[in-house]
C-alpha cells in the first residue's frame, strides 16, 4: 500500500483537534504519514498536538503566512507517494484511507482520486456533496467540484507544480486542481460515489468568515490564465469587476488550451453574475454581453441565464437598469 502524506494545517482550532486526530488515527492505515502545521495558536492547540506527537510524522507550532504556506511547510517534510490535506476542524470518515490507498495501489498511474464529502452544520445535520465524473473531461476544467477533504493526488505531480500557491488563501485547492489538470491532461482520474470526509460548517470556519473571497480569488486565477494566453478581451472584462492585481505562479498552458480556458471564464462569469447587484458588476457584465462572445462557449446549463442577461443589459444605462429592476420587484 502506498504511503499517504496527510497534512493538517491549523490555527486556533483547539475545540476540533481531538476529533480530527481521532478520525485520522483510528483508521489504522499502516502507511499513514500525518503532519500537523500549527500557525502559532494560543488557545490550547499546542497541548492537544503534543499529546498526539508520538503518532505524528512531524509537527510544529510557529507563525506562518497562512494556510497555503503551512501546507508547503508540511510538504517539505512529506515522504509519501500520495498527498492530501485535512483541515483541523474537519474529519475523515472510517475506512477512507484504506479506500484511497487501495485506489492508488491498483492503478499506479492514477493522478487523482476522490469521493464525496459531507457538509455538516453546527447542529450535526449532514448534506452530501456532488461528485466529479472522470469521463467528463470538460467538466473537470469548467465546473469541478473539488471536494478538497476527499481529494488525494499523486505526490510527484504535486511536487512538479510546486505545491500549493501561497498567494491564495481561499481558492488554493482549486488552483492546485487546475495546475495538476493542465499538467496531466487526459491522465487517469478516479472518483467513487462514497463519502470520505466531513467538512464542518461553523461560525469560525473560513468559509463562514471569508464572504466572497473564494469567488474573488477564482476570478484572479482566471484573469491570470487569460493574460497568459493573450485573451485581452476576457482579461479586461474580469479586471472591470475584480481587483486582479496579485502575483500568482503561471499555469502550464499553451495555445491548445485556448478553447477550454475561454469556456472556463465564460462559465464563471455567468455562474456568479447572472444577477447584477451593483454598478461595477453591471459595467462588467454589460461589457461581457457587448463583447460578442461566441455563444458556442456557453455551457448548455447556462443558456437560459445568458439569454436573460442579454435582454436585461443590452441598450441599458445603469440608471435605466436600476429602475427596471425596482419595477420588476414591485410587480413580481
Are residue 116 and residue 136 in the same domain, yes or no?
Answer: yes
- In this structure, of 50-64, 105-119, 199-213, the range with the lowest mean pLDDT score is 199-213
- In this structure, of 73-87, 131-145, 197-211, the range with the lowest mean pLDDT score is 197-211
Q: What rounded mean pLDDT belongs to the chain?
A: 95
Q: Is the pLDDT of residue 62 over 80?
A: yes
Grid cell listed for 37? 502545521
For residues 259, 157, 9 and 59, what is the CA-based torsion angle, rounded to 10 degrees? Answer: -170
Q: Single out the residue in 209, 232, 261 at which a domain terminates.
A: 209
Other beta carbons less than 10 A from residue 271's beta carbon: 16
> Mean of the pLDDT values across residues 303-309?
95
Are residue 68 and residue 121 in the same domain, yes or no?
Answer: yes
Q: Count how many domains the chain has.
A: 2
Q: Single out the residue in 164, 187, 209 at which a domain terminates.
A: 209
What's the pLDDT score for residue 211? 78
What's the pLDDT score for residue 299? 95
What's the pLDDT score for residue 102? 98
- In this structure, of 229-238, 253-262, 273-282, 322-331, the range with the lowest mean pLDDT score is 322-331
Are residue 117 and residue 243 in the same domain, yes or no?
Answer: no
Are residue 205 and residue 220 in the same domain, yes or no?
Answer: no
Q: How far apart are CA 218 and CA 268, in angstroms?
A: 9
- In this structure, of 95-99, 187-191, 210-214, 273-277, the range with the lowest mean pLDDT score is 210-214
- Which residues touch 107 (CB under 8 Å, ≥6 apart)? 188, 190
Are residue 105 and residue 42 in the same domain, yes or no?
Answer: yes
What's the pLDDT score for residue 130? 96
> Mean of the pLDDT values across residues 54-79?
97
Host domain of residue 246 = 213-331
> Mean of the pLDDT values across residues 63-70?
96
The pairing of strands 110-120 and 188-200 is: parallel
pTM of the predicted protein model: 0.95
Are residue 137 and residue 278 in the same domain, yes or no?
Answer: no
> Mean of the pLDDT values across residues 231-257?
96
- Which residues touch 300 (CB under 8 Å, ≥6 apart)? none
Are residue 217 and residue 204 in the same domain, yes or no?
Answer: no
What's the pLDDT score for residue 185? 75
Q: In which band, very low, low, confident or very high, does the pLDDT at 208 lie, cut at 50, 70 and 90?
A: low
Q: How many helices (H) and strands (E) does the chain have?
A: 14, 9
Closest among 295, 268, 294, 269 to 282, alpha carbons compared: 269
Q: In which band, very low, low, confident or very high, does the pLDDT at 204 lie, cut at 50, 70 and 90?
A: confident
Q: How far apart are CA 29 and CA 56, in angstroms?
A: 13
> Mean of the pLDDT values across residues 23-46?
97
- pLDDT tens for 135-185 read 999 999 999 999 999 999 999 999 999 999 999 999 999 999 999 999 997
What's the pLDDT score for residue 328? 83
Are residue 288 and residue 236 in the same domain, yes or no?
Answer: yes
Are residue 260 and residue 172 in the same domain, yes or no?
Answer: no
Q: Is the pLDDT of residue 1 over 60?
A: yes
Q: In which band, very low, low, confident or very high, does the pLDDT at 44 lie, cut at 50, 70 and 90?
A: very high
What's the pLDDT score for residue 23? 98
Are residue 226 and residue 160 in the same domain, yes or no?
Answer: no
What beta strand segments (E) does the chain contain? 4-10, 32-38, 58-61, 82-85, 91-92, 110-120, 126-128, 151-154, 188-200
Q: How far apart are CA 157 and CA 122, in angstroms?
A: 36
Are residue 182 and residue 234 in the same domain, yes or no?
Answer: no
Q: Single out the residue in 176, 209, 242 at which a domain terminates.
A: 209
Are residue 204 and residue 55 in the same domain, yes or no?
Answer: yes
What's the pLDDT score for residue 209? 64
Cell numbers 511536487: residue:
159
What's the pLDDT score for residue 100? 98
DSSP per position, 268-327: HHHHHHSS--SHHHHHHHHHHHHTT--GGGS-GGGHHHHHHHHHHHTT--HHHHHHHHHH
Fill in the DSSP letter of residue 184: T
CATH number at residue 94: 3.90.550.10
Amino acid at each position: 500500500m502506498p504511503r499517504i502524506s496527510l497534512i493538517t494545517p491549523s490555527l486556533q482550532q483547539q475545540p476540533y483537534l481531538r476529533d480530527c486526530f481521532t478520525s485520522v488515527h483510528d483508521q489504522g492505515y499502516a502507511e499513514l504519514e500525518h503532519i500537523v502545521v500549527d500557525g502559532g495558536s494560543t488557545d490550547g492547540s499546542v497541548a492537544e498536538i503534543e499529546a498526539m506527537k508520538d503518532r505524528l510524522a512531524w509537527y510544529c507550532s510557529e507563525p506562518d503566512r497562512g494556510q497555503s504556506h503551512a501546507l508547503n511547510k508540511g510538504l517539505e517534510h512529506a515522504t509519501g507517494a500520495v498527498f492530501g490535506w485535512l483541515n483541523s476542524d474537519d474529519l475523515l470518515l472510517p475506512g477512507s484511507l484504506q479506500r484511497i490507498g487501495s485506489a492508488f495501489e491498483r492503478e499506479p498511474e492514477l493522478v487523482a482520486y476522490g469521493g464525496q464529502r459531507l457538509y455538516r452544520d453546527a447542529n450535526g445535520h449532514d448534506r452530501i456533496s456532488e461528485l466529479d465524473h472522470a469521463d467528463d473531461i470538460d467538466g473537470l476544467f469548467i465546473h469541478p467540484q473539488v471536494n478538497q477533504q476527499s481529494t488525494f493526488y499523486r505526490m510527484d505531480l504535486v511536487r512538479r507544480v510546486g505545491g500549493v500557491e501561497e498567494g491564495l488563501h481561499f481558492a488554493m485547492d482549486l488552483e492546485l486542481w487546475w495546475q495538476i489538470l493542465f499538467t496531466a491532461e487526459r491522465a487517469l482520474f478516479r472518483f467513487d460515489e462514497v463519502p470520505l470526509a466531513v467538512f464542518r460548517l461553523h461560525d469560525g470556519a473560513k468559509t463562514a468568515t471569508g464572504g466572497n473571497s473564494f469567488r474573488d480569488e477564482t476570478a484572479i486565477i482566471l484573469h491570470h490564465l487569460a493574460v497568459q494566453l493573450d485573451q485581452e478581451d476576457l482579461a479586461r472584462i474580469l479586471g472591470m469587476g475584480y481587483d486582479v492585481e496579485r502575483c500568482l505562479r503561471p499555469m502550464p498552458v499553451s495555445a491548445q488550451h485556448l478553447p477550454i480556458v475561454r469556456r472556463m471564464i465564460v462559465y464563471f462569469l455567468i455562474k456568479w453574475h447572472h444577477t447584477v447587484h451593483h454598478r461595477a458588476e453591471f459595467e462588467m457584465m454589460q461589457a461581457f454581453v457587448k463583447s460578442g462572445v461566441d455563444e458556442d462557449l456557453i455551457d448548455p446549463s447556462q443558456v437560459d441565464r445568458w439569454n436573460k442577461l442579454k435582454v436585461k443589459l443590452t441598450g441599458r444605462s445603469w440608471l435605466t437598469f436600476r429602475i427596471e429592476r425596482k419595477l420588476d420587484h414591485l410587480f413580481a
